[in-house]
Structures are given as structure tokens and as C-alpha cells.
Amino acid sequence: MSVQAYRLEDGGRIDRTAPLTFRFDGRAYAGYRGDTLASALLANGVRTLARSFKYHRPRGVLTAGSEEPVALVQVGGDPATTVPNVRATELELYDGLEAFPQNCWPSLGRDVGVVNDALARFLPAGFYYKTFMGPPLNWMRFEGAIRAAAGMGRSPTAPDPDRYEHVNRHCEVLVIGGGAAGLVAAREAARTGARVILAEETGALGGGLLAGAPDAVTIDGRPAWAWLAEIEAELRAMPEVTLLTRTTGTGWYDRNWVTLAEAVLDHLPPAARDPRLPRQRLWRVRAKAVVLATGAIERPLLFHANDRPGVMLAGAVRAYLHRWGVAPGRRAVVATNNTDAWRTAFDLAAAGVEIAAIVDSRARPDERLLARAQALGLPVRAGSAVVAAKGRSEVRGAVIARADGGGREDVACDLLVVSGGWAPNLALYAQSKGAIAWDDDLQAFRPQPNGAAARFAGRAAGAFDLAASLRAAAVAGAEAAGIAPEHVPEVADDGVAYALAPAPKPQGGRVFVDLQNDVTTKDIRLAAAEGYRSIEHAKRYTTLGMGTDQGKTSGLNGVATLADTLDKTIPEVGVTTFRPPYKPVSFGAVAGRQVGELFHPRRTTAMHEAHVEAGAVFELVGDWLRPRVYPQAGESFDDALQRECRAARSSCAVLDASTLGKIDVKGPDAREFLNRVYTNAWMKLAPGRCRYGLMCNEDGMVFDDGVTACLADDHFHMTTTTGGAAGVLAWLEEYLQTEWPELKVYLTSVTEQWAVASICGPESPKLAAELFDDIDADPQAFPFMSHTSGHIADVPVRVFRISFTGEVSYEINVPARYGLWLWRLIEARGAKYGLTPYGTEGMHLLRAEKGFIIAGQDTDGTVTPLDLGMRWAVKNSADFIGRRSLFRSDTARPDRRQLVGLATADPATVLTEGAQVIAEPAERSGRTPMIGHVTSSYFSPNLGRSIALALIAGGHGKTGATVHVARRGAAPVPAEITATDFLAGFGERP
Amino acid sequence: MLLVPCPNCGERDQSEFHYGGEAHRTRPTAPETLSDDEWADYVFMRTNTKGVFAERWCHTAGCRKWFNALRDTGSDAFLAVYRMGEEPPRLGGEEKEEAPADEAFA
Ligand SMILES: [Zn+2]
């Protein structure tokens, strides 16, 4: 294990009494509790953490936060819990942590993909674009190589064992960001008693103050870190304040609906994770007001080889010094265009790091800074810029050039600290369509608040001096809660006001703008030259800002490069659209608890227990679990299906039909209403009778069907398909409320009120007679398509003499609580008649033998009642929904696809449902015209042959003709077009 | 996620609602008298307005009532809600800018 050679003697918010061991790239290292993976690796002198995406160049640590573009690692080796693309700068160290570098093979040091770097001129901007948009062969030729070489780590390959949760909250004020500004804003808002939620991305409150010495500034007379502890305690004592750490604002949607991603357990060793807690939470917050205290992101400088490990942002270096007690180098060059990076130089010097040069592109840096540098003996190069980093794999030096064209100077260093200035972090705000505007003094975009919803605190407001920043915070917090600010903190700092000049322009070489996607200035210039002159187009062409970091550190440099190429200003070029999430959110957090059994509620019928006992195979129909078939011991699915279907026609069978949609339709206009919504006539249906009906949309296409019974002149019991029940009710309500409010009709869903057992078969009248107390079951006395009420063992029942199988049937409805009892009673009494439970598969087969349609299987939203051959169900006497569409020129075409039967020449061949029907016996090379498709197909045990239904162009006029059904990898199957009622056509019974 | 001002229940999350498309498209009383084009216009064609748009919503997971709304499709601001069968209210210039949802149906 290596020593932590770059760890400072003391300081940092790490617990030096809690040493941790971890592994990276197969080696063991030591760190401390409080470290991130990045800080611990830097402490150990490890500077190369990754290989870049496209050129496989070595990459190190650029930042100290979630904006990190390149220090991405794979965490954990378990195929179920491994996480790719984790920013080492955010990953809190724990004992036993194992992380792996990405994008390298076979190892970080010996990566063969580096050949891409040598071949860079063959991988220009737009390479992917051109490959995708070119002839399909291009992509096919390159796909293997691209997929092998690209990619950003490995996805887990086994199911995620962790638990995730969603939390829904309302609050008056939501503060995003837990730096000093966020804390001040929250305190002001909370004074009113308002519900305040503050979300801080890292594990500690303090933000930028943690990237400075504990006493670098004083706030209200207290050293910075002491003040932080006090305000945190103050907020924690307020009952309406919720402080969330490790929680990132990821999405800002309409009306202040904000999502926060909280990493609850990720910072703990797996063995120490409380099993009662979720791994992550997704907070879904509806806030009256949002205060953005999201801070600022530092802009890198553009120069040759600016991607070398050892090039780090100035603010990040300061954070490693003070928050983690790490000096990430021995000899540093600090290159900047602004005042702030000088503080990093001073702090590095104080930590014992040799400062080779402070390079400021401004000709006249502030006197106070110059005086301090001189006092500390730090060499200063004003009016100069770094134009190149030196070093083959890591930084070994910098080339400094004078802006006035004077001489160049090579300076040795192992740390190249850069700062192109700070830009307010407005990604979340911009997601909410918030307006931003270019500020020339700031050389950055700043928010242009255009509504009361968004307020800005701290550096997010464009206030870069602490006093102004906290003043903005107090105002934002107070105003968000509807009051005036009370407590504006007093700040004492070094008194150097933030100032900067425009970032120096690069002087050629390989200058990286987007370090994650390997986009160079040359790529952006090429995009512009090829006509992609809008930033949105250039972005897509070059993939600038399209990595997992969404260009947080590269966006502004990309815009600046394009602006420079086009000879425009930055505001003229503008910025790309910001989209959620602000940073990667796990699929687990998005899904929450809605996975596995909880993904979708399952509904079960009153008889479910009996089906489970009988060993039923279930299927999901709508939300319902329905028995599909009841295989007996040793019986195959198909054998069981054939047995069930034989029983239904030879003895007696029972189906759980409880899931059919049931709607109680009541009111003086109920009959008129039914007449308008069904395609057939309802005005003369007598009480006690039932009728089958079809429903169409206004486009004339069938969408549901079912039998409706007339209970009384103003009272009907409607049934719908199982899956269509909710949709039909909503559709009926819509017409009642929006088109025909004058109709007095009341609709009530009664699906769950009734449990339904449907018995059918030649023996079913005997069984029914045994069951009924007071109903004459004789099919003559209780005729087909009628219904009645009565009792079974004194339990009230409604019985409908309707049939979906073509056999004599009794559909027995009981109050749902008697459902299981009824099912068991039927099984007990029916045993001697050979009663056989059958499932949905048998129901489908039995109805197909009769040629009855299933809406949604034999129809697909393009099929009219006439296409189905159901002219008999279309009335002429009155209008109904969709009627006019049946006479549109297109719906009246004779060559529409029409429902027919298909009988294969070989009765043993069962067609594949969905198979395409062609007119010719063999497929042509090229495209063979398709004339239809198979909608239903079975082997019928009662007919001893295969049967199928199909929609075929002009099919109604082609009875007896032979068509061919295409198969994959085999010759088409010849089949004859028949009528749809196979029992009538082939069977003995009419 | 929008907040939709239900005239019966108040402002609720969009997920409770079902969107019903353009409002004031009354079903023809005698469809058989219409030409194919006229009927197709009723069935298939909708305007796609940028700006103030009269549209229908149903509070499916609430009172289950349909209602009309005037929404600015550019800003997503609900400017008014009103009952089925009612004419859209006239909007004053000031209301158009930004109508607090609570007052929209007061
Ligand atoms: Zn409502």
C-alpha cells in the first residue's frame, strides 16, 4: 500500500483517526473518512484515473464536484450493483471501496485504444453523424469496432437488488444548494414559519466556504467554518426546515415541480447500509417558490494538451487543500484571467507547494494581489497566458507566452492550475425555461428572473464577492417567503473584488473543449466550416456537451470557440437547451418502488384462491390476473387446453368471467343513450332480454363490444371487454358530459360488485337446475339472450343466458363476496357432470370455433363493423357514434381488409397469429405484396383441425379462394378462405 | 408537471387529469347531411394554436367532471376555466399576462 505522499500534515475535514483502505485499478490504497475517491487518489499521488472516450487519452481530475467531466470510474464489481460513470470527485470514500477505471483495455496504463489518439485525424467531428447518416452499410461496417471501443463503463447485468423510494412533498420555499448562500436564504425564509426544504448535493453543508481556510473569511464576526456549524444548528432546530444532504436538484419542471435525487446509503460500505433504508430517494417537491443557490462553475482555459492529468481548476485545487488536506502537486503554475485564482496560488504556497509562476492574462492585475505575491516571493507573469501543457502522459511543465507576442518560456511543474473565471450555475433554472443574459463584466450568463417563482442567492445570482452574495441570499430567501430580509450577514474577507478579463484565446495545437466527449476546438471549427453554425447543430455534430456531464465545464468554452470561429459574440451564438436531469440519476431512483410486483397493481377475482389451488397458469388481462389454462399433473399446456375445450362441448365447463367490465346504466334516457353509443338498435329491447352490441369511435372503427341486459325500461346492465372496461366508462361519461348533457343517464362501474361464473356445455342445464332455488333452468323456459334474478342457496343471483362459446350457457352473477363460495359449489355439484374449469385460452379457442371476434385481437382500430361482416349489428334507423364514418369513401372501399376464416390445406398446420397473408404461393425476392394478416389461430379439438381468423383485402368476396400465409424461414402455407363460423362449416352441430 | 385548476376541486397536479383536446367542437346533429370532407374535418382535424387555446380537461382522478380551460400554449398558463356548454370568458389584457390560477375561476 502506498503512502499518502500528497496529504498535508494537517487540516481538511477528514477524520485522520479513521483510516480507510480501498482499491482502484487493482491496487490497494489508504485514505480517510471524509475523503472522496478523487481526494484519496490525489493524496496517494494517483493522477491518471481514466482514459478518454474517443482518443483514449489519459485523464485525471479536473474538478472537485459533480461537474467533473473525466474522472469517471466504475464502482463495485458485483454484476447486480456495479455502477458506471461515477464521478470520483463526488464518490465518498468508505472502507473496502473497490473502483475500476473505464474506457481502457487491458489496463489503465496499457490501453490499446490509445491508437485512436494517433488516428485522430480519421475520427473528425461528425464521424458518428456521418456514419449514421450515410449509407446503412457504413454503420454496419463500423458498428462492431465502435461499440467495442466506445462506451462509458459497464451496465449492471443482473437485477438491481436495492430498494428505492419516491417522496412527495409540498413546501413554501425550496432552496437548492447548501453553501453559505443557501443556508442564509433558508434561514430568512424559515423565520416566517414557512415549510423550507434545503437540498445540498454533497455530504456537508458549506459549499465554497469549505474550499477555503476555516478562517479565510469571517461572517457575523465568526470564522467561516464556525459560522457554518452555528447556522446549521440553528436551521436544524427549526421544525419546518428539512435539510437534505447528498441530495441534488435534478429537474425543474412546470409550476415549480422539482425533483431531488438523494443518495441515502451510497456513501456507506455495503455491510453498514441499514436494510430498512432505501439506497436512494427521489423527492418530488412542489414548491411555492424556489431559491437557486447552486453556486458557480469554473471555466477551464483553452491551450494545447489542456486535458493532461495535472491540469486542475483553481477552485478545485483550493477545495483539495482545505476540505481534504491534499496538495495535488509539488510545483504549480497558476494560469488565470481573474482575481480568484490568485487565492489558490497563495493557499498552495502556504501549504508548501512551490509556485513556479502565476500567469495572468491581464496586463495589470490588482495591486493588492501583486503585493501579496511579491511578499510571498511568487513569480508573476502578467499579460501572459499558458499556451501548452507539457508532458507525455501527465503534466511536466507549461509553455507561457506573452500576449504582446514576446518570448515563450518553458516552466517545469507537475500541477497546472487553471481558471477562466466563474459562471453562475444556471442549468436547473434554464430547464424551467428561465431567461438568462450575457454579462460582459462577468464574462458569463447570469439569470434574468422573469417571474416570482425563481430567486437567486449567492454566486448563482452572479454575486461573486461573499458580502454581495450573502446579501442576495438574504433577500432571495426572505422574498421567497413573502417578507423583507431581516438578517443580512456581515462579511470580512481579503477585500479583493472579483474581476476578470475575457479568457485568452487558444494558440493552436490539440485544444480540448469537451474533455468527456473529446471535442477539440478544431472539431468545432470543422463543424462551422461544414455549415453547422447554430450552437445546437454544432453541439449535435461534434457531441459537445452531450456526455454524462452535460458540458458543465465545457459549454461556455464551446460557445466561445464557435463565436470566435464565426466572428460573433458569445451572446449572439447563445447557449444550448438545458434538459433534465442536472446530473445522472439512477434508473432505480426514477422507478422507485414501482418495480417487480409493485410495478403495476394486479387485480384478482373473488375466485382467485380456487384458481391458485387448481394450479392455474395465469395471464395478465388489463390489470387482472386471469387463469389461462388449468394443467393437471403431467399435462402440457396444449393438452390441458384441448381437454378443457372438449369438455365445454361434450359435457360441462366453467369459466371465471368476473373480470368483464360491468357498467350500471340508469335513467329515463338510458335507452336513448345506448342507442347512440352502440351500432345496433336498442329502442325495443324488452326488460328481461339481452343484446350483443358493438361500439365504434367517431372514425367508425370498432373498439369494444359486449352484451347489455335490460333490467327495466330505464335500467340496463352493460358488459364490456375486460381490458376495455375503464376506457368505455370514461368514453361514455365524456359523451354524457360534453355532447349530450341533456340526457338523464347515470353510469356506475359495478365490475367489482359482481363475481361471475359462466357454465356452459350440454350438461350445463342439469347442473344449473341443481343450483338454482327458484329459476327454471330449462333452456326452453329460460331462453337464449334472456336473463332473470333468483337465488342459489338463498344467495341472490342474476343469471344471463348468454354465450361466448356457442354452447348452452348460464352466466351466474353473485355479489362478489359469494364468488369463491359459488365457484366451489359449482365444482362440487358439477363433478358428476364432468365439470371442467377452463381459462381464457379455452375461451378464446371456443369462441374462435364459432367465429366470434375478440375486440383488440381480431380488431386493431382499423376495422369497421362492416369489415367484420357484422352488417346485422349496424342499424339504419338512427345515428350512432361512428355511423357517418362508415360511409366515407375510404371506409366503403370494397378492397378493405375484411374478417374471414382460414382453413389450411393441411389440417394439422396451425398458423402463427400475426402472420402475413400473401396472394402468391411463394415470396418474391424483394417485396411481396401483403393482402392481410392472421388475427386468431388455434388447433380445434372439437373439429380435429386447425382454424384461423384473418383480415384479408376484399376477403368477403373471396370465399373458397386459396391464399398463402408467409412463414419465417419456411415456404408459405396454403389456406382456403372460409366463413368464420367453423362449427357451422365443419361441425356436425349447426 | 402542470397544476390544473379544476373548477370543482381547485388546483391539482396534472397527473390527476385527462386531456381532452380542443374545446367547442360540437358533434354535428345530422352527420348524414355532411360531405366526407365536412365530416372528416369534425372527426380528424384540430387547430394547433400557439397562444390562447380553448381546450377540454377531465379531472379523471378527482371529481371526474369535464370542464373547459383557456390555456396559453406558449407559457402553459391557465387563463380561465369554465363549465362545459359555457362560452369562453373574455380575457382582459392584464389577465392575459399572468393569471393566478386561484382567481381564474373566481
Ligand atoms: Zn375536480
A878-917 per-position pLDDT tens digit: 999 999 999 999 998 999 999 999 999 999 999 999 999 9
Q: Is the pLDDT of residue A129 over 70?
A: no
B66 touches chain A (CB under 8 A): yes
Nearest-Cα distance to chain A for B49, in Å, is 20
d(CA A84, CA A153): 5
> Distance, CA B16 to ligand 1 centroid (Å)?
9
Pairing of strands A222-223, A218-219: antiparallel
Per DSSP, B33 falls in state: G
A878 touches chain B (CB under 8 A): no
User: B76-85 — which CB contacts under 8 Å span 24+ positions?
Assistant: B76/A254, B76/B2, B78/B2, B78/B4, B78/B5, B78/B104, B79/B52, B79/B104, B80/B104, B80/B105, B81/B5, B81/B6, B81/B7, B81/B105, B82/B7, B83/B7, B84/A737, B84/A738, B84/A741, B84/B56, B85/A741
- From the list A575, A570, A562, the residue with the least C-alpha distance to A525 is A562
Nearest-Cα distance to chain B for A116, in Å, is 44
Q: Is the pLDDT of residue A277 over 60?
A: yes
Q: If you measure CA to CA, which chain B residue comes closest to A699?
A: B43
- Is residue B2 within 8 A of residue B76, CB to CB? The reply is yes
- Joined together, the cell numbers standing for residue A739 give 355532447
Of A12-26, A381-395, A440-454, A906-920, the least confident: A440-454
Chain B residues with beta carbon closer than 8 angstroms to that of A673: none
* ipTM computed for the complex: 0.90
Residue A598 burial (CB < 10 Å; 0-12/13-18/19+)? exposed
Tell me the residue type at A17.
T
d(CA A359, CA A384): 6
Q: What is the dihedral of CA A866, A869, A872, A876, to 10 degrees?
A: 10
For chain A, percent of residues with pLDDT exceeding 90:
87
Location of each CATH 3.30.70.1400 domain in chain A: 661-749
Residue A705, pLDDT score:
97
Annotate A265-290 with DSSP letters as a single string. STTS-GGGS-TTS-SEEEEEEEEEEE
Residue A312, pLDDT score:
98
pLDDT band at A988 (very low <50, low <70, confident <90, very high): very low
Cβ-proximal residues to A325 (8 Å cutoff; 6+ apart), any chain: A7, A8, A10, A11, A12, A14, A43
Is B46 within a domain?
yes
B63 touches chain A (CB under 8 A): no
Q: If you measure CA to CA, which chain B residue comes closest to A258?
A: B1
Residue A152, pLDDT score:
73
Q: If you measure CA to CA, which chain B residue comes closest to A889?
A: B36
Cβ-proximal residues to B48 (8 Å cutoff; 6+ apart), any chain: none
CATH topology of domain A846-874+890-978: Elongation Factor Tu (Ef-tu); domain 3 (2.40.30)
8 Å CB contact of B66 and A737: yes
Residue B30, pLDDT score:
94
C-beta neighbour count of A415 within 10 angstroms: 26
Mean pLDDT, chain A, whole residue set = 94
Is B89 within a domain?
no
Distances (CA, A) of A507 to A54, A117, A511, A522, A820: 23, 20, 9, 12, 83
Mean pLDDT of A580-584: 94
Residue A433, pLDDT score:
78
Is B93 within a domain?
no
Prior bond to A741 cis, omega within 30? no
User: Choosing among B14, B26, B27, which should be mutated to test the A contact, i.e. which has the most A CBs within 10 A?
Assistant: B27
A698 touches chain B (CB under 8 A): yes
- From the list B102, B98, B104, the residue with the least C-alpha distance to B69 is B104
Mean pLDDT of A38-61: 93
Strands across the sheet containing B18-22: B18-22, B52-58, B66-72, B78-83
d(CA A262, CA A165): 10
Cβ-proximal residues to A945 (8 Å cutoff; 6+ apart), any chain: A903, A907, A908, A939, A986
Is B91 within a domain?
no
CATH of the domain at B72: 3.30.2270.10
What sign has the CA pseudo-torsion A667, A669, A675, A678? negative
Measure the N-to-C terminal CA separation of chain B; round to a whole number of Å: 23
Tell me the residue type at A734.
E
What sign has the CA pseudo-torsion A919, A922, A924, A928? positive
CATH topology of domain A754-838: Gyrase A; domain 2 (3.30.1360)
Nearest-Cα distance to chain B for A285, in Å, is 11
Give phi and psi for A540, each to the nearest 5: -70, -35
Location of each CATH 3.10.20.440 domain in chain A: 1-160
8 Å CB contact of A884 and B2: no
DSSP E strand boundaries for A817-857: 835-837
Q: If you measure CA to CA, which chain B residue comes closest to A742?
A: B85
8 Å CB contact of B56 and A741: no
Residue A684, CB-side half-sphere exposure with 13 Å CA sphere: 4
A&B contacts, CB < 8 Å = 57
Location of each CATH 3.50.50.60 domain in chain A: 168-296+424-492, 300-420
d(CA A351, CA A328): 11
Annotate A285-325 with DSSP letters as a single string. EEEEEEEE---EEEPPPP-BTTTSTTEEEHHHHHHHHHTT-
Is B9 within a domain?
yes
Chain B residues with beta carbon closer than 8 angstroms to that of A169: none
* Tens of pLDDT, residues A511-558: 999 999 999 999 999 999 999 999 999 999 999 998 889 999 999 999
Mean pLDDT of A247-267: 96
Q: Is the pLDDT of residue B102 over 80?
A: no
Identify the CATH assignment for A511-577 out of 3.40.190.10, 3.40.50.2000, 3.90.1170.50, 1.10.10.1100: 1.10.10.1100
Domain that holds residue B59: 3-27+40-83
Mean pLDDT of A131-155: 60
C-beta neighbour count of A134 within 10 angstroms: 12
A676 touches chain B (CB under 8 A): no
CATH of domain A300-420: 3.50.50.60
d(CA A719, CA A819): 18
Mapped onto helix, strand or coil, the DSSP state of residue A97 is: coil
- From the list A84, A81, A2, the residue with the least C-alpha distance to A40 is A2
Mean pLDDT of A21-40: 97
Cβ-proximal residues to A458 (8 Å cutoff; 6+ apart), any chain: A177, A179, A180, A181, A182, A207, A293, A295, A469, A470, A472, A473
Mean pLDDT of B38-61: 96
Mapped onto helix, strand or coil, the DSSP state of residue A973 is: strand
> Distance, CA A881 to ligand 1 centroid (Å)?
27
Chain B residues with beta carbon closer than 8 angstroms to that of A889: 36
8 Å CB contact of A884 and B34: yes
CA angle A950, A951, A954 (to 5 degrees): 125
8 Å CB contact of A739 and B31: no
Is B7 within a domain?
yes
Q: Is the pLDDT of residue A990 over 60?
A: no
Mapped onto helix, strand or coil, the DSSP state of residue A105 is: coil
> Distance, CA B58 to ligand 1 centroid (Å)?
8
8 Å CB contact of A451 and B20: no
* Tens of pLDDT, residues A706-727: 999 999 999 999 999 999 999 9
Is B44 within a domain?
yes
Mean pLDDT of A121-141: 62
Q: If you measure CA to CA, which chain B residue comes closest to A452?
A: B98
Is B34 within a domain?
no
* Tens of pLDDT, residues A625-662: 999 999 999 999 999 999 999 999 999 999 999 999 99
CA angle A63, A69, A71 (to 5 degrees): 70
Residue A1, pLDDT score:
53
Q: Please name every residue paired with A196 in a beta bridge, in sequence order, or none if there are none.
A: A173, A241
CATH of domain A661-749: 3.30.70.1400
Mapped onto helix, strand or coil, the DSSP state of residue A57 is: coil
Does domain A168-296+424-492 fall into CATH 1.20.210.10? no
pLDDT band at A967 (very low <50, low <70, confident <90, very high): very high
d(CA A4, CA A39): 10
Please tell me the pTM assigned to this model: 0.88
Residue A3, pLDDT score:
81
- Joined together, the cell numbers standing for residue A797 give 343471483
CATH class in words for A1-160: alpha beta
pLDDT band at A122 (very low <50, low <70, confident <90, very high): low
pLDDT band at B105 (very low <50, low <70, confident <90, very high): very low
Q: Is the pLDDT of residue A404 over 60?
A: yes
8 Å CB contact of B2 and A254: yes
Tell me the residue type at A686.
A
Residue A56, pLDDT score:
85
Location of each CATH 3.30.1360.120 domain in chain A: 754-838
Total structural domains in chain B?
1
Residue B98, pLDDT score:
45
- Joined together, the cell numbers standing for residue A705 give 363490444
Q: Is the pLDDT of residue B96 over 50?
A: no
Q: Is the pLDDT of residue A594 over 50?
A: yes
